[in-house]
Amino acid sequence: MPRLKIEDLQKIKERHWSEYSLREGGYRAKVTVHMGTCGIAAGAGNVMTDLLAEIANAGAEDVIVTTSGCAGLCAREPMATVEIIGHPPVKYCDLNSEKIKEIFKGHIIGRNPAEEYALSEDMPFFKYQVLRVLRNKGMIDPERMEEYIARDGYQAVVKALTELTHEEIIKVVKDSGLRGRGGAGFPTGLKWEFASKVQSDMKYMLCNGDEGDPGAFMDRSVMEADPHAVIEGIIIGAKAIGAHQGYIYVRAEYPLAVKRLQIAMDQCYDAGLLGKNILDSGFDFDLEIYQGAGAFVCGEETALMRSIEGKRGMPRPRPPFPAQKGLWDKPSVLNNVETLAQVPLIILNGADWYRGLGTEKSPGTKVFALTGAINNIGLIEVPMGIPLKTIIQDIGGGMKKGRRFKAVQMGGPSGGCLPENLIDIPVTYEDIVKSGAIMGSGGMVVMDDNNCMVNTAKFFLDFTADESCGKCTPCRVGTKILLDILTDITEGRGKESDLETLEDLSRDIISSSLCGLGQTAPNPVLTTIKYFRDEFHAHIKEKWCVSGVCRDLCTFLIDEELCNGCGACMRACPAKAIIGEKKKPHRIIQDLCVQCRTCYETCRFNSIKILSAKARETKQAEPVSAER
């Protein structure tokens, strides 16, 4: 693409629609195969191959095929959207070769949608969402700059570079109330203002796309589906603080995000949207991608900056803050992907528009990665202040297999577990913090009554202890001690004094750790003790894991009065530990049982019981041994 002038952006927008719209382009139909990481993993590449084969066999040259990033409902991938003139778009899910053939012949050729494979836009998953960061989700080909420009792309850059001073840009962002979406929720405009006031020959504008939380994929999906939105936000931020060099820090485990970001950056350089004298405005800005090795601590801003410098990713004490002394000791601003993707819309539409959603202290929308024991796993964007219940029961479609909702982990390993009685809590920064959790970057892991909360706390402590950089003693040693105590409790060696030790040590770690990793690592411990104390007592006093997760504390037995000998558990058992004749009660050979829960999950008659050693002695005869 040749170097652009401001007037060229509108021309490209007009040409784009005349070239690719169905009516003026002379196309019968447009098919978008959604190919984010989730779609590709589910088989979207095969769907694309099958679709192109059907088009070639039919000689249907008037059918255009394109791609996009994630469409949001990851649990129903592979997905594709069919658009035909005069008809509403139809989004198809759970696709395979046979379904593609039916859809092609019935819908694309015959104009009769295959309703049995289609998703309704009125379903609760879509109905309760408001798309801003995800405004182009499933709508554009992320590798075609023209498609981004056609949806008002880079109009905010034009406004920021030609109509607004850096003070005016900062004021709009400050007035909007935009808070950093990377976890801490610090006001974005205030951070920009700090950096803008520092005099320096060099400043840096940085984007954090590291995203190390287990179960989180918000930033990855945005970078894959809409890389130009991130770049546009970076350019505007650079103008605001007076930076002429920027970096996007992305973990190397995100190859598709890296690829699409690089393509978008190359397009921007070719078009004159990066480099010297952008849009003839006199503003220069260069941008590079830096691939991280996957260290969780590099999500902390000073550790991330040391990593870019080629040093080991370890945080440093603050002050001085990065706005005064950051990358290579120069003033630097770091914002995460979601934060920067919000900026172009705020510049175009104004602060009042942005505040039209959300609450006074938490305006706007928030993107969440909804995962766990929930039906509608996917990427969602909702207004701040929405009840947690709406996210879980309506958007998320409730619990899988009709299980009971037990808890939701918010904020990743640095967050906390919120119980069922807090399901009506508004999702805002202040309300979530009051509960003992944090908003975090947006990971939301939903758990049902099969989860052991003691083991859940142990899981997250195992992660944070392993990811500690080791620089400060409270985090390096303290998280290991917490993990050892939790391990003892889950393996039957817990003492009643352990709970007090866990709480006291957690508070000490929070108050004395150097960076956010250590300061938030004990959150899963404190919230599980606060809301699920009875489970800790059961593990310590009764030596019993009621959920049957901690193998050393549970025994699986078959209630012979309820077992009808269907054989389902015996066929499912990977250890071949279940014996019995057809239509007669079965039994578990305890010497072979590995406590994997497969029988418990498989049985439809509630005949599998999870008992503690004490309960087994009083309620069940001696279990069958391997010798018997």
Residue 212 belongs to a domain with what CATH number? 3.40.50.11540
Please provide the distance, in angstroms rounded to a whole number, between the alpha carbons at the two ends of the chain: 78
Looking from the CA of 494 toward its CB, the CA atoms found within 13 Å total 31
Q: Going along 341-437, which residue ranges are E strands?
A: 365-372, 378-383, 405-410, 416-419
522 and 559, same domain (yes or no): no
Last residue in a domain, options 393, 414, 448:
448
Compute the average pLDDT of residues 76-100: 93
Q: CA geometry: angle at 1 spanning 267 and 203, to 5°? A: 40
Last residue of some domain: 284, 319, 354?
Answer: 354
- 442 with 460, same domain: the answer is no
Least confident of 14-28, 126-140, 255-269, 567-581: 14-28
Judgement on whether residues 208 and 346 belong to the same structural domain of the protein: yes
Q: What is the pLDDT of residues 302-356, one digit of tens each?
A: 999 999 999 999 999 989 999 999 999 999 999 999 999 999 999 999 999 999 9
Structure confidence at residue 441 (pLDDT): 85
Domain boundary among 354, 381, 412: 354
pLDDT score of 19 more than 70: no
Q: Are residues 621 and 505 in the same domain?
A: no
Two tokens, residue 65: 């095929």
Looking at the structure, do residues 371 and 340 belong to the same domain, yes or no? Answer: no
Position 626 confidence tier, pLDDT thresholds 50, 70, 90: very low
Q: Which amino acid is at 130?
A: V
Percent of the chain with pLDDT over 70: 96
What is the mean pLDDT of the segment spanning 230-255? 97
In a domain, 128, yes or no: no
Letter for the amino acid at 511?
S
Q: Which CATH number belongs to the domain containing residue 476 in this structure?
A: 1.20.1440.230
In a domain, 129, yes or no: no
The CATH number that applies at residue 86 is 3.40.30.10
Question: Would strands 63-68 and 332-336 be described as parallel, antiparallel, or unpaired?
Answer: unpaired
Residues 6 or more apart whose CB falls under 8 angstroms from that of 158 comprise 6, 9, 279
Rank 116-125, 277-286, 540-549 by mean pLDDT and report only the highest. 277-286
> Chain centroid to CA 382: how far?
13
CA gap 514, 518 in Å, rounded: 7
Q: Indicate whether 159 and 100 sit together in one domain.
A: no
- Average pLDDT taken over every residue of the chain: 92
Looking at residue 338, its pLDDT comes to 96
Residue 173 has which token pair? 């962002």
Instruction: Count the neighbouring beta carbons within 10 Å of the beta carbon of residue 523.
Output: 27
As a whole number, mean pLDDT of residues 414-429 equals 94
Q: Does 472 have pLDDT greater than 80?
A: yes
Evaluate whether residue 139 is within a structural domain.
Answer: no
Q: 31 lies in which domain range? A: 18-123
pTM, rounded to two decimals: 0.92
Instruction: Please give the full DSSP string across 7-56, using - where no structure is assigned.
Output: HHHHHHHHHHHHHHSHHHHT-SEEEEEE-SHHHHHHTHHHHHHHHHHHHH
The reply to whether 316 falls in a domain is yes
Q: What is the DSSP letter of 393?
A: I
Domain identity same for 378 and 469 = no
pLDDT computed for residue 23 by the predictor? 59
In a domain, 547, yes or no: no
Q: Is the per-residue pLDDT at 165 higher than 80? A: yes
Total domains, the chain: 5
**Banded model confidence at residue 624, pLDDT cuts 50, 70, 90:** very low
The reported pLDDT for the residue numbered 3 is 87
Average pLDDT over residues 199-224: 94
Specify whether 153 is located in the same domain as 195.
yes
Residue 612, pLDDT > 90, answer: no
Based on the fold, state whether residues 412 and 468 are members of the same structural domain.
no
User: pLDDT band at 616, cuts 50/70/90?
Assistant: low
Residue 7 within a domain: no
User: 547 or 242, which is more confident?
Assistant: 242
pLDDT band at 625 (very low <50, low <70, confident <90, very high): very low
**CATH code for the domain of 421:** 3.10.20.600
Residue 191 in domain: yes
Per the domain annotation, does 11 fall within a domain?
no
Q: Which alpha helices (DSSP H) does 405-497 contain, by range?
A: 429-435, 453-467, 473-490
Q: Give residue 2's pLDDT.
A: 79
DSSP H helices, 515-572, are 516-520, 523-531, 533-537, 568-572
40 contact partners, CB below 8 Å, separation of at least 6: 256
How much is the average pLDDT of 497-510?
96
520 and 435 inside one domain: no
User: Do 517 and 558 lie in a common domain?
Assistant: no
94: pLDDT strictly greater than 60: yes
Residue type, 19: E
How far apart are alpha carbons 490 and 455 in whole angstroms? 7
Tell whether 437 and 458 lie within a shared domain. no
